[in-house]
Amino acid sequence: MTDAQTSNIQDREIDRSHMKVSDEVAIDISGMNKWYGTFHVLRDIDLTVYRGERIVICGPSGSGKSTLIRCINALEEHQQGKIVVDGTELSNDLKNIDKIRSEVGMCFQHFNLFPHLTILENCTLAPIWVRKTPKKEAEETAMHFLRKVKIPEQADKYPGQLSGGQQQRVAIARSLCMRPRIMLFDEPTSALDPEMIKEVLDTMIELAEEGMTMLCVTHEMGFARQVANRVIFMDAGQIVEQNEPEEFFTNPQSDRTKLFLSQILGH
């Protein structure tokens, strides 16, 4: 069943009518530096993300791309510079951090679903406890988003009973239940079997079509080409190159980017 549905989505044209980039700034990072001990992981990062942008961040492993998006919701602490998310500056104030985290959704490589709770409970937990939504309303919202990621029938199962692709779609639904204005994806398809990558990408494409502001760390260059409006290439903790996908893939400027692209697209 899912196969038929997902292939439909893949084959159709991407609907770009809601994919609009506005002038409003969603995330503003300036002069950001981060060290792990003495190791300088992120160096002088300046990045402005406008509302409605779909940014793909790529680069070799260890280039700091995951660390960068994890700094945006303060899963990692930055030591220098400024990060402003939705007008709130990330500081050591726990109130600010919790506020930003509840506005910014995040999907992880290993899903990080809560294995002791059912799918539905996974989705309603944060709305109930953080947003103080009544349980009934939270469950309705959760079912709405579970339908959207096409697994409403799994609501009463536990994460351990689902396949990797289904788990990642639940993770996306769980984030959406908080009605985030920005979504971060940290290699959402890297831990999946090839057969399941597509169903997750399709969900992400749908999200993009609705105008969600997205930052994706991914190696799915097809997704970058189809959906992104900007591709950022990172190496050694720095932003080496950023451009529109078409330009980025056909006409890379720096040697490092050329080498990287030849390696991942060559085979």
Q: Is 25 in the site for other proteins (CB under 8 A)?
A: no
Could you tell me the CA-to-CA distances from 135 to 65, 129, 239 in Å, in that order? 37, 10, 43
Total residues contacting other proteins (rule CB under 8 A)?
Answer: 31
Near other proteins by CB under 8 A: residue from 41, 47, 68, 106: 106
Q: Is 135 in the site for other proteins (CB under 8 A)?
A: no
Q: Is 71 in the site for other proteins (CB under 8 A)?
A: no
In the complex, least distance from residue 252 CB atom to other proteins, rounded to whole angstroms? 33
The stretches of the chain forming alpha helices (DSSP H) are: 2-11, 65-72, 94-103, 119-129, 135-148, 164-176, 194-209, 221-227, 245-250, 255-266
> In terms of Cα–Cα distance, which of 71, 43, 17 is closest to 184?
71
Which CB, 70 or 230, lies closer to other proteins? 70
Q: Cβ distance 232 to 58 under 8 Å? A: yes
In the complex, least distance from residue 245 CB atom to other proteins, rounded to whole angstroms? 27
Q: Which two tokens stand for residue 42?
A: 């992120």
CA angle in degrees (0–180, nearest 5) for 135-140-144: 145
Stretch that binds other proteins, among 18-26, 104-112, 201-209, 241-249 (CB under 8 A): 104-112
Q: Is 207 in the site for other proteins (CB under 8 A)?
A: no
Crossing angle between the packed helical segments 2-11 and 194-209, to the nearest 10 degrees: 50
Q: Which two tokens stand for residue 5?
A: 């549905």
Q: Which residues contact 149 (CB under 8 A, 6 or more apart)?
A: 169, 170, 172, 173, 203
In the complex, least distance from residue 131 CB atom to other proteins, rounded to whole angstroms? 9
Binding mask 82-101 for other proteins (x = CB under 8 A): ------------x---xx-x
State the CB neighbour count (10 A cutoff) for residue 247: 13
Range 113-132, binding other proteins (CB under 8 A): 113-116, 125-126, 129-130
Near other proteins by CB under 8 A: residue from 108, 233, 248, 260: 108
Which CB, 75 or 84, lies closer to other proteins? 75
Binding mask 152-191 for other proteins (x = CB under 8 A): ------xxxx------------xx--x-------------
- Maximum Cα–Cα distance for the chain, whole Å? 55
d(Cα 12, Cα 107) in Å, to the nearest integer?
Answer: 25
Residues contributing to the site for other proteins (CB under 8 A)? 73-75, 94, 98-99, 101-106, 108, 110-116, 125-126, 129-130, 158-161, 174-175, 178
